[in-house]
């Protein structure tokens, strides 16, 4: 029987493993953590609220995710808020049509900019200060990369951040996707089994994990970009590919959940000055009684002193969302996605430079019997999302199935 090892049990790896198993390939999934889902991590607070410590918002155009959710018998719940649509505090009085027109002009300029142009260069051309601050704030927050380090190309779709779009979560937790896929794969999924080395050649692969060495016909590497660079490849990855991986910025982010003394109607509030936002949603399964908040970008993590705890962050939320009921700071939960996390090394990638005739950056190209999956290998505009991870897993599985001679 044909065999394949999949490294990483996030949405990308599990999607790939499931597709391979469906095609009659014997699969082993090696996962470093003690849980599946990777950057999708649903959890409960002590008070029973359903929270998302990682990926939360499923917005418009998530076609592969929609199909997966349906196939697995899961259902979406509407969040009652729209990810792109946030009430600004204090209100700078921005005209929505003007903001959209400015965003469109930025998109056009970003598409025409050279590969070395930076986001700040393009944003500097926005005349209206409040709109410029809004676009800057949204771009840094969504990419989770400090504006100073953000390539102009990431502004090519900045309009999406202001546009109207439905926002959903998977009922019972976004990790339902990973849990269902893992359940289908059964004992093929091995937890707490990090991979450190991959030997690969024309006849097969040998994958070195904590539990031993796995010989297989092929493997799929579905770990985050920065973690891929920690795995030893024998023979090594081509130097130009390593250099290209090094050039891709990887963001840092933090999420906060803090219980409120009473339920709060769904709302999404953003401070462009502080460059972060907060929200409530009945998806918490306690009627909107927890306030969620997101910080994207190292400068804001530092400014809100998240390493010292949530106090400063909660104080700022209280400051601009005065009508909130009392917040229980002692019960707050913070999740940090910093570079020092061994299995992610940050939040997600800000991939740029995907050639027009390609559906992904060359860092995602197959190398003999090794294919690569993960959000950073997704088609342009879908990197850094659940949707991109799922699409990349499907693509990587197709590559391996073809390499191994097709489905049986």
Ligand X SMILES: Cc1cc2nc3c(=O)[nH]c(=O)nc-3n(C[C@H](O)[C@H](O)[C@H](O)COP(=O)(O)OP(=O)(O)OC[C@H]3O[C@@H](n4cnc5c(N)ncnc54)[C@H](O)[C@@H]3O)c2cc1C
Residues in contact with ligand X by the rule CB under 6 A = 7-13, 30-33, 38-40, 54-57, 194-195, 222-224, 227, 231, 253, 255, 337, 343-344, 347-348, 374-375, 384-389
Give the nearest distance from C-beta 268 to ligand X in angstroms: 13
Using H for helix, E for strand and C for coil, what is the string for the chain? CCEEEEECCEHHHHHHHHHHHHCCCEEEEECCCCCCECCCCEEECCCCCEEECCCCCECCCCHHHHHHHHHCCCCEEECCCCCCCCEECCCCCCCHHHHHHHHHHHHHHHHHCCCCCEHHHHHCCCCCHHHHHHHHHHHHHHHCCCHHHCEHHHHHHHHHHCCCCCCEEECCCCCHHHHHHHHHHHHHEECCCCEEEEEEECCEEEEEECCEEEEECEEEECCCHHHHCCCEEECCCCHHHHHHHHHCCECCEEEEEEEECCCCCCEEEEECCCCEEEEECHHHCCCCCEEEEEEECHHHHHHCCHHHCCHHHHHHHHHHCCCCCCECHHHCEEEEECCCCCCCCCCCECCCCCCCCCCCCHHHCCECCEEECCHHHCCCCCCCCHHHHHHHHHHHHHHHHHHCCCCC
Nearer to ligand X, 332 or 386 (CB): 386
Give the nearest distance from C-beta 294 to ligand X in angstroms: 7
Helix axes 63-71, 386-403, angle to 10 degrees: 80
Compute the distance between CA of residue 334 and CA of residue 382 in angstroms, rounded to an integer. Answer: 26
Nearer to ligand X, 55 or 64 (CB): 55
Nearer to ligand X, 102 or 226 (CB): 226
Nearer to ligand X, 102 or 248 (CB): 248
Give the nearest distance from C-beta 371 to ligand X in angstroms: 13
Give the nearest distance from C-beta 130 to ligand X in angstroms: 26
Compute the distance between CA of residue 114 and CA of residue 390 in angstroms, rounded to an integer. Answer: 30
| Cα separations in angstroms, 180 against 34, 111, 185 | 16, 39, 9
Tokens 């998302």 locate to 52
Nearer to ligand X, 335 or 403 (CB): 335
Give the nearest distance from C-beta 27 to ligand X in angstroms: 14
Nearer to ligand X, 12 or 131 (CB): 12
The overall longest dimension of the chain from CA atoms, in Å, is 65
Token pair of 62, please?
Answer: 């998530």
Tokens 């260069």 locate to 121
Give the nearest distance from C-beta 192 to ligand X in angstroms: 9
Give the nearest distance from C-beta 75 to ligand X in angstroms: 17
Give the nearest distance from C-beta 103 to ligand X in angstroms: 20
Nearer to ligand X, 31 or 102 (CB): 31
Give the nearest distance from C-beta 126 to ligand X in angstroms: 26
Nearer to ligand X, 151 or 364 (CB): 364
Name every residue whose Cβ is closer than 8 Å to that of residue 315 and which is 6 or more positions away in sequence: none
Nearer to ligand X, 135 or 195 (CB): 195
Nearer to ligand X, 128 or 381 (CB): 381
Q: Which residue is nearest to ligand X (CB)?
A: 10
Give the nearest distance from C-beta 54 to ligand X in angstroms: 4
Nearer to ligand X, 62 or 321 (CB): 62
Compute the distance between CA of residue 147 and CA of residue 217 in angstroms, rounded to an integer. Answer: 43
Give the nearest distance from C-beta 70 to ligand X in angstroms: 17
């Amino acid at each position: 029987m044909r065999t394949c090892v999949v490294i990483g049990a996030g949405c990308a790896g599990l999607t790939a493993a499931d597709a391979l198993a469906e095609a009659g390939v014997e699969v082993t999934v090696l996962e470093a953590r003690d849980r599946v889902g990777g950057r999708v991590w649903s959890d409960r607070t002590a008070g029973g609220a359903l929270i998302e410590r990682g990926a939360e918002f499923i917005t418009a155009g998530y076609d592969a995710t929609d199909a997966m959710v349906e196939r697995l018998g899961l259902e979406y719940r509407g969040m009652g808020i729209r990810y792109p649509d946030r009430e600004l505090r204090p209100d700078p009085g921005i005209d929505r049509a003007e903001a959209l027109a400015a965003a469109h002009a930025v998109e056009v300029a970003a598409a025409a900019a050279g590969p070395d142009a930076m986001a700040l260069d393009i944003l500097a051309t926005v005349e209206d200060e409040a709109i410029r601050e809004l676009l800057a704030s949204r771009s840094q927050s969504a990419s989770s990369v400090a504006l100073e380090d953000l390539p102009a190309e990431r502004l090519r779709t900045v309009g999406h951040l202001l546009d109207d779009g439905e926002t959903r979560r998977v009922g019972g937790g976004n990790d339902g996707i990973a849990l269902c896929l893992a359940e289908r794969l059964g004992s093929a999924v091995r937890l707490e089994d990090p991979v450190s080395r991959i030997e690969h050649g024309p006849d097969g692969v040998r994958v070195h994990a904590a539990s031993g060495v796995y010989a297989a016909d092929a493997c799929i590497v579905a770990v985050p970009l920065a973690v891929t660079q920690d795995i030893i490849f024998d023979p090594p990855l081509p130097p130009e590919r390593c250099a290209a991986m090094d050039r891709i910025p990887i963001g840092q982010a933090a999420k906060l959940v803090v219980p409120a003394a009473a339920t709060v109607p769904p709302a999404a509030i953003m401070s462009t000055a502080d460059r972060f936002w907060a929200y409530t949603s009945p998806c918490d399964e306690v009627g909107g009684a927890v306030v969620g908040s997101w910080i994207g970008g190292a400068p804001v993590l530092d400014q809100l002193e998240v390493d010292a705890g949530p106090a400063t962050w909660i104080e700022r939320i209280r400051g601009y969302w005065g009508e909130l009921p009392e917040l229980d700071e002692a019960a707050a939960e913070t999740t940090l996605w910093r570079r020092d996390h061994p299995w992610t090394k940050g939040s997600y990638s800000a991939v740029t430079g995907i050639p027009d005739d390609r559906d992904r950056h060359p860092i995602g190209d197959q190398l003999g019997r090794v294919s690569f999956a993960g959000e950073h290998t997704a088609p342009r505009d879908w990197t850094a999302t659940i949707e991109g991870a799922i699409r990349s897993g499907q693509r990587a599985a197709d590559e391996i199935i073809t390499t191994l001679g097709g489905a049986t």
